[in-house]
Amino acid sequence: MQSNVLLSPSSEPHKYETFLYVDQRLSLYLNVAAQADDMSPPAYAEARAFLLHSVVELYGSPHFDRA
């Protein structure tokens, strides 16, 4: 019965599992945001998008399979 709960998108365990998964994937790129904040003047939306795009092009995007 527990496995049925995890497959339901409206269940709290599923929401928490999804949150952890997205958080793990985004953590790969947090250093880009930190670098943008440290720039003088700080990088704004377009510059941040370019920085992120550059990092993804350089290292590749994370695969969206369960790691």
Q: Whole-number mean pLDDT of the chain? A: 76
Q: What is the pTM of this model?
A: 0.47
The whole-number pLDDT of residue 14 equals 82
Task: Write out residues in the chain with pLDDT < 70, as ranges.
Answer: 1-9, 61-67
Domain locations along the chain: 21-60
Contact 26, 32 (CB under 8 A): no
- Number of C-beta neighbours around residue 14 at 10 A: 14
Residue 49 pLDDT: 87
Tell me which residue of 34, 33, 6, 1 sits closest to 20, measured CA to CA.
Answer: 6
